[in-house]
Amino acid sequence: MSSPLKKSLKLALIQLASSADKTSNLTSARQKVLEASKAGAHLVVLPECFNSPYGTKYFDKYAETLLPSPPKDSQTFTALSKLAKEAGVYLVGGSIPERDDKDEKKLYNTSLTFAPSGELMATHRKVHLFDIDIPGKIKFRESDVLSPGNKITLVDLPEYGKIAIAICYDIRFPELAMIAARKGAFLLLYPGAFNLTTGALHWELLARARATDNQVYVGLCSPARDMKAEYNAWGHSMLVDPNAMVVEQLDEKEGTLIQELVAGRIDEIRKGVPLYGQRRFDVYPDVSEGGRFKE
């Protein structure tokens, strides 16, 4: 198997503090992305719902129509495209609420990835919607207002290799990550807004589990925590290496994590623990094969 990471890559995860003011959020994102670019980052990631508050009652108000692409009237799409070009980076625009172009009542939680040219490279609609009910702790149902996406999103960065984009709750489903890794991804990226209950329980655990399963880098990018907001994000954006070690983790406040993904590290780990040559597809199926896989 050829090395999935062609050369070392500096990654920035921006833990942004978002407000109810979309224009202000976009301005803040621009400042942070440009700062990350000046610090040498070539791949920059924003958090889930970075341009709005996170909550079911906000999705409709802040939703933008993204199709047909490029859209004529999407403030966030236009801002991200210009920003990627201005900063000269690959930009994963966290996620934003998207309105279906054919059914205005249909909404998605959508991530847009742009090239340094400003061109759109990929769109990921959150596949697994966040529906949970932990008695006495938290109840949340994205499916009350959102529709799910139906594909796995791989993005080829020509100089570096493939990355996979998914959103928040998607990380709990190892099949998605396994397929992406077996299709050659060197990095699994999850813009995500875990809360104070699930974050404390599973945020780091899931990042390290997906790295352990697949021997790839895993990046989690959260909004900063705002205890005055209705929904309190966990924060703690982090990068985990292919050996499931936490390279760096932020606290709950606004900040930027910048770290280098080292070429050869994945190969080193896979040589020591050679899972990729030990799987028994004669005993169980390879989830990355078959007609149901959508890319």
Active site residue 168: yes
Neighbours of 244 (CB within 10 A): 17
Task: Judge contact between 232 and 196, C-beta under 8 A.
Answer: yes
278 Cβ contact partners less than 8 Å away, ≥ 6 residues apart = none
72: annotated active-site residue? no
Q: In one letter, which amino acid is 100?
A: D
Q: Which of 170, 131, 168 is nearest to 152 (CA)?
A: 170
Pick the catalytic residue from 64, 126, 142, 252. 126
Q: Which of 22, 32, 48, 98 is catalytic?
A: 48
Name the catalytic one among 168, 221, 252, 254. Answer: 168
Cα–Cα distances (Å) from 284 to 176, 277, 281, 293, in that order, read: 17, 15, 5, 17
CB 225 within 8 A of CB 235: yes
**Closest to 33 measured CA to CA, from 96, 101, 81:** 81
Known catalytic residues are 48, 126, 168
